[in-house]
Each structure stands twice: as structure tokens, then as C-alpha cells.
Amino acid sequence: MITSDDLQVRWWKLEQKLMDKFGKKPDLESILFLIGVQEVGGAGHTFTKEQKQDLMHVAVCTILSTSGYYEHEGWDEDGWPHFKQIKEIGQMDLIKQENFMKDHVLLYFSNQEF
């Protein structure tokens, strides 16, 4: 696992890149939403509140699939991906959980060559 300081520096760099692109500093939830939209191919669409929650779920499943927590099962008739949980994530305090998610978000963007 990468040290906490390195994680924070890498996170700030990602935030800056996204701020440069979108003109607003994103938080973790905004970034998860963005990943969900990317995965569903819904850029430019308007989403309901429920769909926004679903997009964040898609993002979480997508980013955690790289570590084997989820597996992509396929697509439904509306073009939404579906996942199956493969292994438990385990208990973490809030700071560890946030760092765990940030590390996976950074890996996602690295794999996307962003």
C-alpha cells in the first residue's frame, strides 16, 4: 500500500486536473459520479436522483473490480453494467475507507491514462 502522504499528493494532483477540466474542485462523491457517467456512457444526459445513486454504485463496483472485490457480469437492456461481489471489503474506520476509495479512484484514472 502506498503511504498516506503520497496518496494525498496524488489525490491533490487529480483534483487539480479535474478542476482545470471542469472549473470546479470535485469531492470524492463528485468523482465517483463522474466515473459512473463515464462507465455508462451517459455524458450530456440528465439523470434522476436514483440514477445518480446508481451511477455512484457503478463507479464503486468498477474501481473495486481492479482489486477483485467485484466482477462485471454484463449489461442490462438499458445499457447499465451489472456486477457481482466476489469478496468482502472488511471493516475500516472512515479515514481508512476514504483512503481505500481514493487509492482505487487514482488507479482507475491511471488506467484510463488521464
Domain count, the chain: 1
Residues 3-26, mean pLDDT to the nearest whole number = 91
Tell me how far apart the alpha carbons of residues 77 and 24 are, in angstroms, rounded to a whole number: 34
Q: Please identify which residue in the block is written with the cell numbers 479535474.
A: 18
H or E element in which residue 47 lies: none
- Output the pLDDT for position 80: 92
Position 43 pLDDT exceeds 80 = no
- Output the pLDDT for position 114: 79
pTM for this model (two decimals): 0.88
C-alpha distance from residue 92 to each of 17, 65, 75, 102 (Å):
29, 18, 31, 14
Question: What's the domain range around 22?
Answer: 4-111
- Output the pLDDT for position 3: 57
Residues 34-61, mean pLDDT to the nearest whole number = 92
